[in-house]
Amino acid sequence: MPICSSCGKGTLSPIIKSKPYLIIKEIVTQNEIDSDTVFVQHGKNRYGKEEHSSSYYLNKEMGMMGVFSMTNLYMHIPPKGGRSKEGKEMAQGCMDYSVNEVIRIAKDMKIIFMMGAGVIKLFTGYNASSVYGLICKSELLPNVPVIIPSPNSDKIMAQPIGELRNSLRILAEKIKSYEQYTLIGA
């Protein structure tokens, strides 16, 4: 288990596949920590009852989840930071560690599906709701040709799903184009 260099907490490991497609979700959930894996399919709700997680529904919508590498921006629950200088420095250190890990994982990807306002703002500079489903670029990931922002999958149960479906449609189109292009070049 990797360890955050700022706070010393253990972090979850990303799921890495051979295809150059990556999904980045914003923050780790308690169900992911309990299962010791990202994008967990089942877990307990806030009342302690077992249920499907939002990642399960995302998987159902996509129908092809197995081809994606998956990670969270935060691979552990970040500290609150508080008001002290040390607390703020630790929280910033956790953020820096997380960003560096995402850059390490994502640098050679061809298509990235970013989910969540914080991760979208951090990597693209845009407010999330202004760019859902559009193709963006990132100064932090200059070699990634396609970044598609989408609503946070952990919140799909509490928000309209139209933006997510539109983003998924664009993602499917870009993957199809990439697969056809690489097939021609082979």
Measured torsion, CA atoms of residues 92, 97, 101, 106, in degrees rounded to the nearest 10: 20
pLDDT at site 90: 87
Residue at 46 is within a domain: yes
pLDDT at site 145: 96
pTM of the model: 0.84
Length of the chain: 186
Provide the domain limits for residue 145: 21-73+107-185
Residue at 34 is within a domain: yes
127-139, pLDDT tens digit by residue?
998 999 999 999 9
User: What DSSP character marks residue 79?
Assistant: P
Q: At 164, which amino acid appears? A: L
Residue at 141 is within a domain: yes
In this prediction, residue 122 has a pLDDT band, given cuts at 50, 70 and 90, of very high
pLDDT score of 41 more than 80: no
Residue at 8 is within a domain: no
Residue at 91 is within a domain: no
Q: Is 81 exposed, middle or buried (0-12, 13-18, 19+ CB in 10 A)?
A: middle
DSSP assignment of 94-144 equals: HHHHHHHHHHHHHTT-SEEEEESHHHHHHHH-S-HHHHTTS-B--SSSTT-
pLDDT at site 63: 52
Pick the range with the lowest mean pLDDT from 49-58, 74-83, 136-145, 165-174.
49-58
Percent of the chain with pLDDT over 90: 32
58-104, pLDDT tens digit by residue?
666 665 556 788 898 988 887 776 778 888 888 889 999 999 999 99
Domain count, the chain: 1
Domain with residue 164: its CATH number is 3.40.470.10
Residue at 13 is within a domain: no
Residue at 16 is within a domain: no
